[in-house]
A and B are shown apart, each in its own frame.
Chain A
C-alpha cells in the first residue's frame, strides 16, 4: 500500500460524477468554470483558469501562499472548494493593479526589496491589502501578527513588514 500526495483518491465507484458548473466573479469579471466537487478553489484558479499568480505551498492552510479574497474575506484558497465560489466574488493577486497603476503595497514591496525569490509575494500582498483595509495604521506588532499566516523563508520578514508599514503611510497620505 503506497502513495503519498494531496487528495487521497477514492476508488471503487462505478460511475463518474458530472462536473459542477460555477458562476463566479473573479477580479471583477464574470467567469464560468467547471470543477469537480472536491476540487479546491486554488486548483480551479491555477489549473482550470490558468491564473497561476496564486501559489500552492502546502495545501493545508499553513503557508498563506494561496491567499485570495472571497466575498471580501481573506481566505486560504487551498481550503475553499471551487464550488463554494458560485455566486460569490473572488479577488486574486492578478486583480490588484489597475492597469499600470500598482497598489501602494505592490510599489513598496518593490522599493523595499521585500521579495527575494518571490513565491510568497502574491500571498503576502493579498493579505497585506486586507490588513490595511481593516487597519489603516497598524503597529509593527499588529502587522506581524496579521501576516503570521504568510510564511517567507527568504527575507526574515524585516523588509516585508517595513514595506507594509510604509504602504500604510502612503495610503493614509493619499486619503488625507
Chain B
C-alpha cells in the first residue's frame, strides 16, 4: 500500500484508552504460558550438562525410563539430525542445526546447563529424579570461558570445521571467530591525520540477561493423527511453528501454535527452548506435556546478550567536526555463532556524519549460553563506547555535549555507515528536545553529575497480516498474530477505530493462533505498531470501501458518490440529498446488502522508520562507598506518531530502566568451571522500585513517511543510550571515565581511589 503519512487530525489515535486486555490482567484472569494445562498433562523437565565443554560419547536412558511415573525420556536421537548451517537474514541469520542443538545437545555440550535430555513424568519431582538416573559417558574438554581465551592462538575450538564467514582478513583454518563484519568508508588514515584531537579507549561489557519476570513455559499436545497443538509464551507463534517443524522433522501444517499472554520477552522469547522437546515428549508419552523453566534454568540455559570487548577511537577537528572513527568490536556469541555484533557495527557511529570510518566486528563462540536478541541487540553495547568517546571529545573541546552532537548529527539524506541513506529522521529534534527540558538545567549538588548520550535503532518492517470484520451492531473485531507484550493490541484497535471513525471501545482486538490469522513475523524489532499496524489500517480501509459500497447499494448511487467521514457513509456531490448512514445502520443491513463485511491485508515493508533517542541522567555517588543513586532521568525519543502515548512512554521508561541496571549492577558472574554463580534475582541485580526515580519522557514526533500515520517503532531505541548516559553522568560526578561495566560500588570505589592517587 502507498505509505504516505498524512497531516490529519486524529480522533482515536493519540488518545489513552484503557487497554482491552487490562481488566483480565489486573484481576489475575489473564493466562500466561504456565497457566495452561490439559487433563492428563505430564510435567517435562530438561536434564542439563554439568560441564561447560564436553563431548557426549554415549547416553543411556534405560534406568530413567524405568522410574515409576516416567512416561517418556528423549535425547537428540529423538530429533532428526538437522545439520548445522548458517542462513543469513539481514544483519543476522538463522541456523536450524544450531537451534536444534540448543534444545538438546547432540555431539557436544557447549555450556554448563546445556540440555541434553528431557523427561516427562506425572510430577516434576519424579521427572527430576529420573533425570539423575540418565547415564552419560563424557569426554570432558577444556572450556573456553572468555573472549581472551577464545581468541588465543592455542584456544580449544568449539566447532571443528567451522569456517569464519564474512568480511575482512579472516583467520585460516578452525577458529572460534565464527564471522566478521567490516564497514569501511572514506580514508581513515587521512581522517585521523586531519584530526586535531583524537579520543580513544578500550571498553568492556558483561553478559547480561533480558530479565523477563515470566520464565519460559509451554504446553504441547500431540494427537493420535500426527497433528499437534502447542500453547507457548512466545514473541511469535508462527516462529514457534516453523522452528518446531524444522527441529522435530514435522510437517508445519500439522502444528497449531497458540501464543499465550507473555510475561516479557525483550527478544529472549523469540528463540524456542522448550516446544520441540515438549512435542516429542508428548508424542512418546501419548499425553500432553507441560514444560516450564525455573528461574535458575532461565539464567543457565537461555540466551542472554553478549559480553564484549571493544576498542574505539574518534578524531575531530578543533571546531568539533568529527572526521574519522574506527572501532574493533569483539562480541560473545556463546555456544553457537550469532551474536549481534553485526547490528552493533551498523549502529555504533551511524548517528553522526563521519566521512572516514572503519568498523570491524568479530562474532566469537565460547562455552557460555548461546546469546539471544536483547532489545536493539548489539546497539547498546556499541553506543556505550561511542557515546563515552563523544563525551570525552566534548570535554576536551570545552563544548556542550548536546551542542557537539547537534553539530555532527546525521540528518535526512545522510548515509548510514552500512549503506542506505535516511529518509526523514528526528535526531536533531530529539537532541533539541532534551536540551530544552528543565532537567538539563536542574541544579547539581556535591558528588552529583549529569550525563547525556544518544542512540539509534533501525526498526524492522517484515511480514504481518490483519483481518477486520464488522459485527451487526456496528462494532468491529481486528485480528492479528502478534503477541501483545506492551499494549500493542490496544494500538491495533486504535488504528482500526481511527479508520472506521468509531470509538476504540467498539473495536475488539484479538491475538490469534497460527490457524486463525495470516502469517505474522515476531513481536520484536519494534515492528508491530508499524508493520502490523499498517496491515490493520489497510484491512480497515478495505472494510471502509465495502461499507461505502453497501451504502451506495442502499442509496442506489455510484461508489464514488459516497465518502466515509467519522464513522458514517456520506453521500456527496450529485447524491448529497441521500444524507448519511452510520456504520451501525449499514452493519444492521449487511445480510441484505451482500453479506458479512470482512477484509484482510498483509504487508512486508522492506524498511521502517529509524528512531533516535537522547537521554539525560543525573547521579549521585557516595565517595566513601562507591554506591551510585540515580536522581533524575529523562528520555527524549522520536516516535514518528504516538498511537497510544501511555504505551510509548512505557517503552521509553522500561528500556531506560533496563539500561540503567546494565550500566550499574547487572552482570553474569562465573566460576572457573564456567558455571553461572548468580542464576537468580538475588544476585543478578535488576533495578528495584526504590533504585529509580520517576523517568520523564518527551515524545518527539517527526512523522515516518513510510507509515500511513507516521509511526516509527519505539520499543528498542530506549535501551540504546542509557549505558553511555549513565557512564557520562558518572564521569561528571566523579571525574573518572568508566570503560568497564557494570559500574558497581566496588569498581567505583576502586576507580575513585585510583583517581585520587
Contact flag A117-B657 (CB < 8 Å), given A52-B28, A102-B26:
no
> Nearest chain B CB to A104's CB is how many angstroms away?
11
Q: Is the interface of A mostly helix, strand, loop or mixed?
A: loop
Residue pair A2, B49 in contact (C-beta under 8 Å): yes
Number of contacting residues on A, CB 8 A?
Answer: 67
Residue pair A117, B486 in contact (C-beta under 8 Å): yes
Residue pair B132, A11 in contact (C-beta under 8 Å): yes
Within 8 A of B (CB), among A12-66: 46-47, 51-60, 62-63, 65
Residue pair B48, A155 in contact (C-beta under 8 Å): no
Residue pair A110, B18 in contact (C-beta under 8 Å): yes
Contact of B124 among A6, A53, A92, A148 (CB under 8 A): A6
Is B442 part of the contact surface with A, judged by Cβ < 8 Å? Answer: no
> Nearest chain A CB to B484's CB is how many angstroms away?
8
Is B223 part of the contact surface with A, judged by Cβ < 8 Å? Answer: no
Residue pair B47, A3 in contact (C-beta under 8 Å): yes
Residue pair A113, B262 in contact (C-beta under 8 Å): no
> Nearest chain B CB to A39's CB is how many angstroms away?
10
Is B30 part of the contact surface with A, judged by Cβ < 8 Å? Answer: yes
Give the residue name and chain of the B residue nearest to A43 (CB): B124
A52 contact set on B, CB distance < 8 A: 28, 31-32, 34-35
B688 contact set on A, CB distance < 8 A: 148-149, 151
Contact flag A55-B653 (CB < 8 Å), given A11-B132, A148-B689:
no
Give the residue name and chain of the A residue nearest to B22 (CB): A110
Residue pair A62, B681 in contact (C-beta under 8 Å): yes
Contact with B along A59-97 (1 / 0, CB 8 A): 110110100000000000000000000000000111011
Query: Which of B28, B301, B653 has the most C-beta atoms of chain A within 10 angstroms of its own C-beta?
Result: B28
Residue pair B132, A2 in contact (C-beta under 8 Å): yes
Is A159 part of the contact surface with B, judged by Cβ < 8 Å? Answer: yes
B215 contact set on A, CB distance < 8 A: 56-57
Is B128 part of the contact surface with A, judged by Cβ < 8 Å? Answer: yes
Residue pair A144, B18 in contact (C-beta under 8 Å): no
Is B97 part of the contact surface with A, judged by Cβ < 8 Å? Answer: no
A57 contact set on B, CB distance < 8 A: 213-215, 263, 295, 681
Is B183 part of the contact surface with A, judged by Cβ < 8 Å? Answer: no
Contact flag A154-B132 (CB < 8 Å), given A62-B680, A93-B28:
no
B134 contact set on A, CB distance < 8 A: 2
Contact flag A58-B680 (CB < 8 Å), given A102-B26, A110-B26, A152-B213:
yes
Contact of A4 among B26, B113, B213 (CB under 8 A): B113
Is A158 part of the contact surface with B, judged by Cβ < 8 Å? Answer: yes
A3 contact set on B, CB distance < 8 A: 45, 47-48, 128-129, 131-132
Is B300 part of the contact surface with A, judged by Cβ < 8 Å? Answer: yes
Contact of A122 among B28, B34, B647 (CB under 8 A): B28
Within 8 A of B (CB), among A139-169: 140-141, 143-145, 147-162
A51 to B34, CA, bound (A): 12
Residue pair A4, B487 in contact (C-beta under 8 Å): no
Residue pair B16, A154 in contact (C-beta under 8 Å): no
Interface range for B = 35 or more
Residue pair B27, A160 in contact (C-beta under 8 Å): no
Give the residue name and chain of the A residue nearest to B644 (CB): A113
> Nearest chain B CB to A175's CB is how many angstroms away?
22
Residue pair A159, B653 in contact (C-beta under 8 Å): yes
Contact of B654 among A92, A125, A156 (CB under 8 A): A156
> Nearest chain A CB to B60's CB is how many angstroms away?
13
Within 8 A of A (CB), among B84-126: 113, 124-126
A56 to B132, CA, bound (A): 25
Contact flag A155-B131 (CB < 8 Å), given A4-B294, A117-B262:
no
Within 8 A of A (CB), among B302-353: none
Contact of A2 among B23, B50, B211, B263 (CB under 8 A): B50
B650 contact set on A, CB distance < 8 A: 113, 116, 154-155, 159
Is B593 part of the contact surface with A, judged by Cβ < 8 Å? Answer: no
Give the residue name and chain of the A residue nearest to B214 (CB): A119
Is A171 part of the contact surface with B, judged by Cβ < 8 Å? Answer: no
B486 contact set on A, CB distance < 8 A: 116-117, 154
Within 8 A of A (CB), among B260-274: 261-266
Between A and B, 30 residue pairs with Cβ closer than 8 Å are A3-B45, A3-B132, A4-B48, A5-B297, A6-B124, A9-B126, A11-B132, A52-B32, A53-B27, A57-B214, A57-B215, A93-B27, A94-B29, A97-B27, A111-B18, A113-B649, A116-B651, A117-B212, A118-B25, A119-B213, A148-B691, A150-B689, A151-B686, A153-B658, A154-B485, A156-B654, A158-B653, A159-B646, A160-B689, A161-B694
| Beyond A113-B16, A116-B647, A117-B262, 14 extra complex contacts between A and B, CB < 8 Å | A8-B128, A47-B37, A53-B28, A94-B28, A110-B26, A117-B214, A117-B265, A118-B21, A119-B32, A121-B25, A149-B688, A151-B688, A152-B213, A153-B211
8 A-B pairs closest in CB distance: A53-B28, A119-B263, A156-B657, A93-B28, A113-B646, A118-B25, A156-B653, A62-B681
